Amino acid sequence: MNVLLEKWNTPFGLPPFAAIRDEDFGPAFDEALARARAAIQGIADGPGTSFAEVIEALELAEGDLDRVAGVFYNLAGADSTEAREALMRELAPKMSAFSSEVTNNKALWAKIEALWQGRDWLGLTSEQARVLELYRQMFVRSGAALEGTAAERLTAVKARLAVLGTQFGQNLLADERSWHMELSERDLAELPGFVQEAAKAAGAEKGLGPVVTLSRSLIVPFLQFSPNRALREKAYEAWVARGANGGETDNRAIAAEILALRAERAQLLGYADFAAFKLEPEMAKTPDAVRDLLMRVWQPARAKALADAGILEAMLKADGLPAPLEPWDWRYYSEKRRKAEHDLDEAALKPYLSLDAMLGAMFDCATRLFGLEFREIEGPFYHPDVRGWEVTRGGNHVAVFLGDYFARGSKRSGAWCSAMRSQRKLGGEQRPIVVNVCNFAKGDPCLLSYDDARTLFHEFGHALHQMLSDVTYGFISGTSVARDFVELPSQLYEHWLEVPSVLEAHAKHHVTGEPMPADMLQRLLAAGTYDQGFATVEFVASAMVDLEFHTGAPPTDPMQRQAEVLESLGMPRAIRMRHATPHFAHVFSGDGYSSGYYSYMWSEVMDADAFAAFEETGDAFDPETAQRLERFILSAGGSEDAEALYLKFRGKMPGVEALLKGRGLLDAA
């Protein structure tokens, strides 16, 4: 037997990581796919036509496949090997073909459509009615109603998109892995101690002396603190050139092909363009609604950024350096300005923000809000860096939470939350195994920037959405919600890091144990909206490029189209997109955020308003508000329309003013 297909007699049903070999995955996928195909064909061909015999049977038909995929794709993203990358390339068309087989199965589609047409007489619960609606929507949007050559072409398009998305992500990882810049003793000495330690650790991983790599956790502080303008330029240009270096890892032609195929996919399904197709089931509904939100934020953000650029350029000139201010200068001079105006020195701040201290803060907030308790458990897990906790409430098991926090060459960049196993009740109570992945610079101890701490809280907000899920059907479990709603729990949870009592209790010096000085804490919180012109401009520019890529005819040259969009916006010259096209993994490594990068900002409108619900009570941990948040948002998954859930929690939908206030941009609006 293959260990991946056996019953796992392990604590909490965790995968037996120590027993799993790379060569187990291929055969396990083959067998799991065969079992899923047989089960689904049995549903299609069998006599059953009831909700239980069709929809509930489909919910359970891919159990083995879900289990194998839950392990493999988590490992492939967080700890890749050559064998795993090769299998990802092999699996991309296989998994796409399987998905198309299911949605193209006419007998199965006929049963789902019959259930839908007769839904008013089935006696369904509200959750069952929602699941039926979403199943039918998935089949329709996957082309179930298409016939003949149109159906065949859509299958081919989706298969090719799966291959290209995998290739895009692997090219990006290869570029990130291959580049480094060695630092001389003098260059190293000019950096704060925590950056020195991170550079030494990154070099040691490569068998070298201290280096700068393209990991955000290392290159951003290097750009903040290195006084060597030439080195900053070299590092910055390498960072923004990921995926655009020519050769086998160049992503520009891949991006163009992806955009063309997405447009064709939308047209085959009867939509004007891919943005119209993608946004239809989201809260925003239309490209115009997205564009309106982004432009209402863009104007004040741009005005603020231009004013800030003038100040930073004056500082550059005062250093005797030639203008203009360049993108590789912004973080350096912004950090100097922050220290001057807010008396905040990140090197002095970090010792109070160790990873262990911030994990304690993160867990404490979840305990105070939702009664959750966290007990660290022993591995082995899939990598020695990974830590695990059992999550309980009132003595009852809730979930297993895994944290994988350190950057390494085998891990793709960024931060994310995923589930190796999702919550459901159908077929027996299944509690989730949730994974948070970050890319912090490894140290002894690991010291975080305030932005790193926000990232930690952000991803744990996603984890709470998974762990507190309380639905019957896995199809609507946890984060299975509209893309522009999924970031609400994560961005909302960041707000508790800003609660003074949280930092007072947990931000303690990693050596002395002394709490963060009160005046430092006040300055930190007062600087909460510092440099938001920059942050908002780099985000909105990326979101607008994503939207315009997918609106209208696809560009034959995405880089030219990117330049045109930025010019039309009046992009400040010293700021570039947060994610330029060749390394815009959110949009091109898969379908998730395509035409949907705006969703962080759409959710931010709600998260600012949702935290205000707590503030209005005078208690950031108000029990009644926390109960409503759990009941209507965190535990509900996709059991209702996102807007309906938010209205149940808050009673009204917010305007963009809450976002502008939260970012300190109201005065510039």
Residue 528 is predicted with a pLDDT of 87
Q: Does residue 241 form part of some domain?
A: no
Arithmetic mean of pLDDT over the chain: 96
606's tokens = 């709600």
Which of 232, 248, 271 represents a domain boundary (last residue)? 232
The yes-or-no answer on residue 459 being catalytic is yes
Which of 154, 172, 190 represents a domain boundary (last residue)? 172
Classify the phi-psi angles of 136: left when phi > 0, otherwise alpha if psi is within -120 to 50, otherwise beta. alpha
Whether the predicted pLDDT of 103 surpasses 70: yes
Residue 615 is predicted with a pLDDT of 96
pLDDT confidence bin for 669, thresholds 50/70/90: low
- Backbone angles phi and psi of 563, in degrees to 5: -60, -40
3-state secondary structure of 160: helix
Is residue 569 within 8 Å of residue 541, measured between CB atoms? yes
Cα 416 from Cα 292, distance rounded (Å): 28
| DSSP category for residue 442 | P
Whether the predicted pLDDT of 392 surpasses 90: yes
Whether the predicted pLDDT of 413 surpasses 80: yes
The strand pair at 396-406 and 433-440 is best described as parallel
Q: Give ∠ CA 372-374-376 in degrees, rounded to 5.
A: 170
Q: Does residue 1 form part of some domain?
A: no
Whether the predicted pLDDT of 252 surpasses 80: yes
- Encoded amino acid at 479, one letter: T
Whether the predicted pLDDT of 499 surpasses 70: yes
The strand pair at 396-406 and 387-393 is best described as antiparallel
Q: Which range of residues forms the domain containing residue 656? A: 351-526+600-668
Q: Tell me the mean pLDDT in the region 362-369.
A: 98
Whether the predicted pLDDT of 410 surpasses 80: yes
Q: Does residue 542 form part of some domain?
A: no
Query: Among 214-228, 391-405, 653-667, which stretch is predicted with the lowest mean pLDDT?
Result: 653-667
590-626: pLDDT as tens digits? 988 999 999 999 999 999 999 999 999 999 999 999 9
281-298: pLDDT as tens digits? 999 999 999 999 999 999
User: Within this chain, do residues 99 and 22 fall inside the same structural domain, yes or no?
Assistant: yes
Is residue 49 within 8 Å of residue 111, measured between CB atoms? yes
Q: Tell me the mean pLDDT in the region 116-143.
A: 98
Residue 326 is predicted with a pLDDT of 98
Whether the predicted pLDDT of 668 surpasses 80: no
Residue 555 is predicted with a pLDDT of 97
Is residue 398 within 8 Å of residue 376, measured between CB atoms? no
Q: Does residue 449 form part of some domain?
A: yes
Whether the predicted pLDDT of 587 surpasses 80: yes
Q: Does residue 557 form part of some domain?
A: no
pLDDT confidence bin for 1, thresholds 50/70/90: confident
Nearest one of 564, 635, 643 to 602, comparing CA atoms: 643
CATH number at 20 reads 1.10.1370.40
User: Within this chain, do residues 77 and 188 fall inside the same structural domain, yes or no?
Assistant: no
267-284: pLDDT as tens digits? 999 999 999 999 999 999
143-193: pLDDT as tens digits? 999 999 999 999 999 999 999 999 999 999 999 999 999 999 999 999 999
User: Within this chain, do residues 372 and 457 fall inside the same structural domain, yes or no?
Assistant: yes
Whether the predicted pLDDT of 23 surpasses 90: yes
Is residue 495 within 8 Å of residue 503, measured between CB atoms? no
pLDDT confidence bin for 433, thresholds 50/70/90: very high
User: Within this chain, do residues 99 and 157 fall inside the same structural domain, yes or no?
Assistant: yes
Is residue 478 within 8 Å of residue 466, measured between CB atoms? yes
Residue 650 is predicted with a pLDDT of 97
Residue 667 is predicted with a pLDDT of 79
User: Within this chain, do residues 168 and 228 fall inside the same structural domain, yes or no?
Assistant: no
User: Within this chain, do residues 82 and 190 fall inside the same structural domain, yes or no?
Assistant: no
Q: Tell me the mean pLDDT in the region 333-342.
A: 95
- DSSP letter string over 273-311? SHHHHHHTTSSS-SHHHHHHHHHHHHHHHHHHHHHHHHH
Residue 218 is predicted with a pLDDT of 94
Which of 208, 232, 256 represents a domain boundary (last residue)? 232
Whether the predicted pLDDT of 390 surpasses 70: yes
| Packing angle, helices 216-225 and 327-342, rounded to 10 | 70
Q: Does residue 622 form part of some domain?
A: yes
User: Within this chain, do residues 484 and 517 fall inside the same structural domain, yes or no?
Assistant: yes
Whether the predicted pLDDT of 7 surpasses 70: yes
Residue 57 is predicted with a pLDDT of 98
User: Within this chain, do residues 428 and 512 fall inside the same structural domain, yes or no?
Assistant: yes
520-538: pLDDT as tens digits? 999 999 998 999 999 999 9
Cα 282 from Cα 181, distance rounded (Å): 43
Q: Does residue 237 form part of some domain?
A: no
The strand pair at 416-421 and 433-440 is best described as antiparallel
Please name every residue paired with 152 in a beta bridge, in sequence order, or none if there are none: none
Residue 150 is predicted with a pLDDT of 97
Q: Tell me the mean pLDDT in the region 194-203.
A: 93
Residue 270 is predicted with a pLDDT of 97
Q: Burial of 429 by CB count in 10 Å (0-12 exposed, 13-18 middle, 19+ buried)?
A: exposed
Give the count of beta carbons closer than 10 Å to the beta carbon of residue 228: 17
pLDDT confidence bin for 358, thresholds 50/70/90: very high
618-651: pLDDT as tens digits? 999 999 999 999 999 999 999 999 999 999 999 9
Residue 278 is predicted with a pLDDT of 97
Cα 532 from Cα 605, distance rounded (Å): 15
Q: Does residue 299 form part of some domain?
A: no
Residues near 322 by Cβ (< 8 Å), separated by ≥ 6?
none
Q: Is the preceding peptide bond at 324 cis, omega within 30 degrees of 0? A: yes
Residue 603 is predicted with a pLDDT of 95
User: Within this chain, do residues 202 and 140 fall inside the same structural domain, yes or no?
Assistant: no
User: Within this chain, do residues 20 and 165 fall inside the same structural domain, yes or no?
Assistant: yes
Q: How many residues does the chain have?
A: 669
- Backbone angles phi and psi of 605, in degrees to 5: -55, -40
* HEC assignment per residue over 117-144: HCHHHCCCCHHHHHHHHHHHHHHHHCCC
Cα 437 from Cα 458, distance rounded (Å): 11
CA 572 to chain centre: 27
**Please, where are the H alpha helices in 20-147?**
22-45, 51, 57-61, 63-78, 82-103, 106-117, 126-141
Residues near 32 by Cβ (< 8 Å), separated by ≥ 6?
5, 62, 64, 65, 67, 68, 69
Radius of gyration of the chain from Cα atoms? 25
178's tokens = 């291959």
Tell me which of 59, 62, 176, 459 is the catalytic residue.
459
pTM of the model: 0.95
Q: Give ∠ CA 403-70-607 in degrees, rounded to 5.
A: 55
86's tokens = 């090769």
Work out how many domains the chain is built from and give that number: 3
Whether the predicted pLDDT of 68 surpasses 90: yes
Cα 173 from Cα 85, distance rounded (Å): 10
Nearest one of 643, 654, 554, 656 to 281, comparing CA atoms: 643
- Backbone angles phi and psi of 374, in degrees to 5: -125, 125
Whether the predicted pLDDT of 444 surpasses 90: no
Cα 663 from Cα 105, distance rounded (Å): 49
| Packing angle, helices 106-117 and 22-45, rounded to 10 | 60
Whether the predicted pLDDT of 658 surpasses 90: no
3-state secondary structure of 189: helix
User: Within this chain, do residues 132 and 209 fall inside the same structural domain, yes or no?
Assistant: no
CA 538 to chain centre: 17
User: Within this chain, do residues 190 and 163 fall inside the same structural domain, yes or no?
Assistant: no
